[in-house]
Amino acid sequence: MKVTKAVIPAAGLGTRMLPATKTVPKEMLPLVDKPVIQYIVEEAVASGIEDILIVTNRAKSAMDDYFDYHPELEHRLERSGKLHEAETSRAVADMANIFYVRQKETKGLGHAIWRAKRFVGDEPFAILLGDDIMYTEQGAPALTQLIAAAEKYECSAIGTREVDDEHIVKYSSLKIKPLEERIYDILDMNEKPTLETKLSNHAIMGRYVLTPAIFDALENTAPGAGGEIQLTDGMRALLGRERMVAVDFNAKRYDTGNLCGFLEATIDYALRHPEAGDWLRDFILRKAEMLK
Ligand code: G1P
């Protein structure tokens, strides 16, 4: 199984980060010196993905512009000898073949993914949720770990993470059976469970490798949690027909879709930044002394 296509749903309204996201797509908010979406595209590319479809909406054209050349800026930088900056700007546009489709109505994650049907065709493909940034210091990126499991078991593989009760009700839950270290057979799943209906504290977490059979399943999926067409409900239908495994991938996960998660990611990435890291470490230590 070779996975070369990925879908990034990015058509959400970004209501958890208002007013910053009133006119700037939440995917374009800067995490230190790059927009959030770039980290997602970099993970996909590092996992062997060549073609990426971003599902957008009418308020997100800043994203299309970002992954394009900017000749006026780049020529100006070149003329003033800032060759590295010009190259950095152009490299963003050359990272992958990026395609766009609009989700014309906000009808849920399952509906957004369904928009990728023609792009995906008849191949297994990856999904990376734009809010979930996965950091791996060494070793394979989160998506690579999923692709390896999908190849090994020749089936769909989805990311999972054990979370506490406060979070499981905001995500989804999985009924699973251990298969090998960090990999489980999936027996059942549900979206936005209550503490009574949760199947375990293993939530689905931001990364998926799915077979194209998901599109038939989504076509017949009725609106679920929040009145939206849920990807989880489509996958649950697929589970009746195909094997699926869950991978508790080895990576630090940041939820940049809410303010605290965004701040945590900002500080951690800034601390790792080659130019700003040492300065920030000293600043935080001085600040902590003052706050004592
Ligand atoms: C989405 C998915 C959910 C998953 C969560 C975290 O929910 O629908 O199954 O657990 O992302 O990756 P959302 O955060 O969009 O409500």
Nearest to 207 by CA among 120, 97, 112, 130: 130
Question: What pLDDT is attached to residue 202?
Answer: 97
Q: Which amino acid is at 80?
A: S
Q: How far is CA 65 from CA 3, 60, 183, 251, 276, in A?
A: 26, 9, 39, 30, 27
Ligand 1 centroid to residue 168 C-alpha, Å: 10
Nearest CA to ligand 1 atom 7: 171
pLDDT per residue rounded down to tens, the chain (292 residues): 789 999 999 988 878 889 988 889 999 999 999 999 999 999 999 999 999 999 998 888 899 999 999 999 999 999 999 999 999 999 999 999 999 998 888 889 999 999 999 999 999 999 999 999 999 988 899 999 999 999 999 999 999 999 999 999 999 999 999 999 999 999 999 999 999 999 999 999 999 999 999 999 999 888 888 888 999 999 999 998 999 999 999 999 999 988 999 999 999 999 999 999 999 999 999 998 888 8
Residue spans of the domains in the chain: they are 5-155+203-253, 258-292
Determine the residue of 161, 174, 202, 204 to mutate for testing ligand 1's pocket, defined as the one with the most ligand atoms within 8 A of the Cβ atom: 204
- Atom in ligand 1 nearest the alpha carbon of residue 230: 8
Question: What pLDDT is attached to residue 133?
Answer: 95
Nearest to 61 by CA among 95, 23, 91, 113: 23
Q: How far is CA 255 from CA 133, 191, 245, 260, in A?
A: 7, 18, 23, 8
Question: What pLDDT is attached to residue 144?
Answer: 97
- Mark residue 170 as left, alpha or beta (left: phi above 0; alpha: psi -120 to 50; beta: remaining): alpha
Strands 97-102 and 34-35: unpaired
Strand ranges in the chain using DSSP code E only, listed in sequence order: 5-9, 30-31, 34-35, 51-56, 97-102, 125-128, 132-135, 156-162, 172-180, 183-191, 202-210, 244-247, 252-255
Nearest CA to ligand 1 atom 15: 109
The CA dihedral of 212, 213, 218, 221, to the nearest 10 degrees, is -170
Ligand 1 centroid to residue 170 C-alpha, Å: 7
Question: What pLDDT is attached to residue 127?
Answer: 98
- Atom in ligand 1 nearest the alpha carbon of residue 171: 10
Ligand 1 centroid to residue 82 C-alpha, Å: 41
Ligand 1 centroid to residue 129 C-alpha, Å: 8
- Atom in ligand 1 nearest the alpha carbon of residue 203: 10
Residue written as token pair 């879908």 = 7
The CA dihedral of 250, 273, 260, 165, to the nearest 10 degrees, is 10
Ligand 1 contacts (CB < 6 A) are 109, 129, 132, 171-172, 191, 203-206, 231-232
Question: What pLDDT is attached to residue 58?
Answer: 85
Question: What pLDDT is attached to residue 67?
Answer: 93
Enumerate residues 6+ apart whose C-beta is below 8 A from 20: 26, 29
Residue written as token pair 């990311």 = 159
CATH superfamily, with its number, for domain 5-155+203-253: Spore Coat Polysaccharide Biosynthesis Protein SpsA; Chain A (3.90.550.10)
